[in-house]
């Protein structure tokens, strides 16, 4: 099994930036996708960004141009750089990995964007 641990969440003012990190307990192949999802209270969990070898990263329309996903396979870590944050970005952010058709989720880290 793969365990995922997110960190980097917190309170930030609108227009600010945060960098989320997710560390995997096991080696993740570069061909296996790693993703960030988020879920706001009372809403469904949605894909934010996804990265895998051989193709360009994918982003939801709401974060395009503001967020950047990256990964360091040697450190077994995926990152999400979030810039120009908006109140609508407030949510619990979850790390996700799909390995051989098996889905793994982290417990999430809370991001609150407010004045």
pLDDT tens-place string over residues 57-83: 999 999 999 999 999 999 999 999 999
pLDDT tens-place string over residues 95-115: 999 988 899 999 999 999 999
Tally Cβ neighbours within 10 Å of residue 112. 15
Whole-number pLDDT of residue 80:
98
Pair type for strands 58-59 and 46-51: antiparallel
């Amino acid at each position: 099994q793969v365990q995922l641990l997110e960190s980097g969440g917190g309170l930030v003012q609108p227009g600010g930036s945060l960098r989320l990190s997710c560390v995997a307990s096991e080696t993740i192949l570069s061909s296996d996708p790693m993703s960030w999802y988020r879920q706001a209270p009372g809403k469904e969990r949605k894909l934010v960004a996804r990265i895998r070898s051989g193709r360009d990263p994918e982003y939801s329309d709401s974060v395009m141009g503001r967020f950047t996903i990256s990964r360091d396979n040697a450190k077994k870590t995926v990152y999400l750089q979030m810039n120009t944050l908006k109140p609508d970005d407030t949510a619990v952010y979850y790390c996700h990995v799909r390995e051989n058709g098996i889905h793994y989720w982290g417990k999430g880290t809370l991001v609150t964007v407010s004045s």
